[in-house]
Structure 1
């Protein structure tokens, strides 16, 4: 699977609107961040590589199955290894930021700043769909990430809910009521160790847990939309059907979510 890198010549092409989905009739691009989430580990040769929630990863912590859902729905999956800018978001219909780094994961993490927020909010307003997939307290950088989320009436609470002990998967069960705006087929989701959400303004609840706390939310911004959840959630381990009991619908939920994303474009 190809990666999207930033070079001066390519930036000039982007600025000119050449060769991308919106201008050429090609497939819409879903762009996965690998800048705010850039955990490093050494491969078998000792070379450092970025890992954890990547399209090309087929391990349990990878997003290869989520990428497959997007591809099945007509998208091209790409990766952004640089900070978001007007130029390098221009080619994308969807932009996903998942699990931004803390120092224990990356000694030199890239935190969301004002320039990033300006570029992203402008892109969403123009019609982009943004997915914010955080994590629970202690496993994701939430302070700066929340500065972006608050532009859309969403805050990731500094907490951790849904602890699951060993294989007691029912502890991570979150039920979806019929008539949900996004989840048309999925009824029983598995979501563990997530940060709950606080909503304000025009942010709308999509899913609450059994205690009535917010788990997922959306926000309409100009021509675009934002979806938020306090967990990476759709990584391979909990989508591939090998570990969870068959009653859980995470794969169907991924398909429902991508269908909703398509409806926003």
Structure 2
């Protein structure tokens, strides 16, 4: 895990917009599920779960993001394991930074049955959001087996390195004309992996010929991907 928090306010706003793909077509309350299976870290000192949790109000958590979802009328929930019965109850599924063996003694890897279930759910209209990480902080092998079904694979690299709190080193200002950047002039993405694209996937943000953010329409659903979990 990276030790410094990225400046995340603008990125929270733009990342929330992808939920519009589900929200705009749903008359019922949209449910946003945050994965706690493929990323299931515990604090070495306390033994308590941490990193990327709705309940974590520290820099390591997503409590503020959850507040934004609920303020827009959505309901947030935690996905302990993405079975078909669980995915049926949500419209948006967020997978964050799958665990490596240095982060978990027994990581829950993304397995073939998981891939089959997630693909089927997206094809029926689910919105899948994947926030990976840079090398060596993310388990890319199994994650990429999922992502290649949507024409994407993450590279085992580190781009946008940031020294200490010099967050401007990770700033992106030349943003394209894309709905996800509506009203946004700058984002901060710190220590990120880039994405290879094929088939149906399309770039959202490219810098120096490197794809940093990508998307894919898959069946009735949608996939959004970025190689950075720090929002």
Q: Of residues 182, 185, 188 in structure 2, which corresponds to 1:187?
A: 185
Equivalent pairs counted in the alignment come to 207
Q: Which residue of structure 1 lines up, in the alignment, with residue 39 of structure 2? A: 37
Q: Which runs of 5+ in 1 are unaligned?
A: 1-20, 235-265
* Structure 1 residue 65, shift from structure 2 partner: 1.0
| Whole-angstrom distance in 1 between the partners of 2:216 and 2:176 | 21
RMSD of aligned alpha carbons: 1.7
* Structure 1 residue 195, shift from structure 2 partner: 0.4
Does structure 2 conserve the Cα–Cα contact (< 8 Å) formed by 1:176 and 1:186?
no
| Whole-angstrom distance in 1 between the partners of 2:230 and 2:211 | 15
Q: Of residues 205, 208, 212 in structure 2, which corresponds to 1:207?
A: 205
Q: Structure 1-normalised TM-score?
A: 0.75
Q: Which residue of structure 2 lines up, in the alignment, with residue 233 of structure 1? A: 230
Does structure 1 conserve the Cα–Cα contact (< 8 Å) formed by 2:29 and 2:74?
yes
1:202 aligns to what SS in structure 2? coil
**1:154-173 mapped onto 2 (5 Å cutoff):** 154-173=152-171
Q: Which residue of structure 2 lines up, in the alignment, with residue 50 of structure 1? A: 49
Q: Give deviations 1:210-244, integer Å, cap 9, x for gaps.
A: x231000000011100000001031xxxxxxxxxx
* Structure 1 residue 42, shift from structure 2 partner: 5.5
Does structure 2 conserve the Cα–Cα contact (< 8 Å) formed by 1:136 and 1:158?
yes
Q: Which residue of structure 2 lines up, in the alignment, with residue 111 of structure 1? A: 109
Q: Which residue of structure 2 lines up, in the alignment, with residue 263 of structure 1? A: none
Does structure 2 conserve the Cα–Cα contact (< 8 Å) formed by 1:178 and 1:184?
no
2:103 aligns to what SS in structure 1? coil
Q: Which residue of structure 2 lines up, in the alignment, with residue 73 of structure 1? A: 72
Q: Which residue of structure 2 lines up, in the alignment, with residue 223 of structure 1? A: 220
Q: Which has the higher contact order (CA 8 A, sep 6+)?
A: 2
| Whole-angstrom distance in 2 between the partners of 1:139 and 1:191 | 15
* Structure 1 residue 159, shift from structure 2 partner: 0.5
Q: Which runs of 5+ in 2 are unaligned?
A: 1-22
* Structure 1 residue 179, shift from structure 2 partner: 2.1
Q: Structure 2-normalised TM-score?
A: 0.85
* Structure 1 residue 169, shift from structure 2 partner: 1.9
Q: Which residue of structure 2 lines up, in the alignment, with residue 241 of structure 1? A: none
**1:101-180 mapped onto 2 (5 Å cutoff):** 101-177=99-175, 179-180=177-178
Deviation >6 Å, runs of 4+ = none
Q: Which residue of structure 2 lines up, in the alignment, with residue 64 of structure 1? A: 63
Does structure 1 conserve the Cα–Cα contact (< 8 Å) formed by 2:205 and 2:211?
yes
| Whole-angstrom distance in 2 between the partners of 1:169 and 1:42 | 27
